[in-house]
Amino acid sequence: AKSAGGNRYELADPEADARVITRHGLTTALPAALDRGEFFIEYQPLVKLGDGSVRGAEALVRWLHPQHGVLGPDRFIPLAERTGLIVPLGRWVLEESVRQARAWQQRTAGSGPLRVNVNLSPCQLTHPGLVSDTVEILEEAGLEPDALCLEVTESALIGADDDLLKPLRRLAEMGVDIALDDFGTGYSNLANLRRLPVSVLKLDRSFTQGMQQFPADPVDLKIVEGIVSLAHSLDLAVTVEGVETGAQAEQLRLMGCDTAQGWYYARPGPPDRLHELALMDATG
């Protein structure tokens, strides 16, 4: 009777079935997609709040699926993590982004070096090839390690032991910046921050969203102020994401945030647009 009940439920919910089928379809299509070159990267500018100059960009992966069109990372990164494809996919994103950053630097010579931020999945962190792959990719492209920032989510590092931190420490010693992504969502012990080899806190979008209403939520403002002063006292830079209005940008600048990212400046876009934006602000 139990299993019949289960069957009835599934039959009564064709939408859930469709989701399972789609999901399964995406899962089996993932590895071939990498071989066929169906992934591409959009870059979203990172802007220095002090003077509005473009400092670099975050690489955000997309999948141009032959049937479903462009799929955002939320649709396939979790699948890639479950199936292990995230390791070769993440390596491809790193390779492509590093090569792109080198190209920007060559084309914008003199206007200040452009840097690139790349997201790392927790599975990549525990993969033994992370350090050697990264070194090889940087060397092959001829990019300085300090033009690369690897973004790791706060939740991936909660309770991290030394084995997990070791590869990040080695990368940090080489000059690669490590950013703590989605900061403020993981309830991590703030004192723990000193133990982590990070140089940037990336404040989660939920904080900037709380500032969007007018007047801004005073509690959100106090929290952001507190995080910024804590970060600076630990020698960490603060990047804010999800900045959608000029008023937010000004508020965040006044609160001492260092770098901003969001639709107010630019949506994620093709690599050439980043290079144009950087040249534009170099020439005024």
What is the DSSP pairing of strand 237-240 with strand 200-203?
A: parallel
Interacting partner of 100 out of ligand C2E, Ca ion, none (Cβ under 5 to 8 A depending on kind)? none
- Residue pair 266/44 in contact by the 8 Å Cβ criterion: yes
Q: Residue 216: which of 251, 254, 259, 246 has the closest Cα?
A: 251
Interacting partner of 242 out of Ca ion, ligand C2E, none (Cβ under 5 to 8 A depending on kind)? ligand C2E
Q: Is 258 in the site for Ca ion (CB under 5 A)?
A: no
Q: Give the count of beta carbons closer than 10 Å to the beta carbon of residue 162.
A: 8
Collapsing DSSP to helix, strand or coil, 78 comes out as helix
Minimum CB separation of residue 162 from Ca ion in Å reads 22
b/e map 1-30, b = 16+ CB within 10 Å = eeeeeeeeeeeeeeeeeeeeeeeeebeebb
Site size with Ca ion, rule: CB under 5 A: 7
Interacting partner of 262 out of Ca ion, ligand C2E, none (Cβ under 5 to 8 A depending on kind)? ligand C2E
DSSP H or E run through 174: helix 162-174
Q: Using CB under 5 A, which of the segments 131-139, 160-168, 172-180, 188-196 binds Ca ion?
A: 172-180
Minimum CB separation of residue 16 from Ca ion in Å reads 29
- Give 141 or 237: the residue with its C-beta nearer to Ca ion: 237
What are the residues binding ligand C2E (CB under 6 A)?
44, 60-61, 72-74, 77, 90, 93, 119, 121, 181-182, 241-244, 261-263, 268
The 8-class DSSP code of residue 269 comes to B
Minimum CB separation of residue 100 from ligand C2E in Å reads 13
- Give 56 or 268: the residue with its C-beta nearer to ligand C2E: 268
Minimum CB separation of residue 31 from Ca ion in Å reads 24
Rounded Cα distance, 224 and 240, in Å: 10
Minimum CB separation of residue 122 from ligand C2E in Å reads 9
Beta strands in the chain (DSSP E): 39-48, 54-65, 69-71, 115-119, 148-153, 177-183, 200-203, 237-240, 259-260
Identify how many contiguous H helices and E strands the chain contains and give both numbers: 12, 9
- Give 53 or 209: the residue with its C-beta nearer to ligand C2E: 209
Amino acid letter at 79?
Answer: L
CA 77, chain centre distance (Å): 12
Place of tokens 């600048």: 253
- Which of 95, 96, 177, 258 forms a contact with Ca ion (CB under 5 A)? 177
Minimum CB separation of residue 174 from Ca ion in Å reads 9
Place of tokens 């952001």: 224
Q: Using CB under 5 A, which of the segments 101-109, 150-158, 189-197, 249-257 binds Ca ion?
A: 150-158
Minimum CB separation of residue 106 from ligand C2E in Å reads 23
- Which of 181, 238, 248, 259 forms a contact with Ca ion (CB under 5 A)? 181
Interacting positions 110-149 with Ca ion (CB under 5 A): 119, 146
Binding residues (CB under 5 A) for Ca ion: these are 119, 146, 151, 175, 177, 181-182
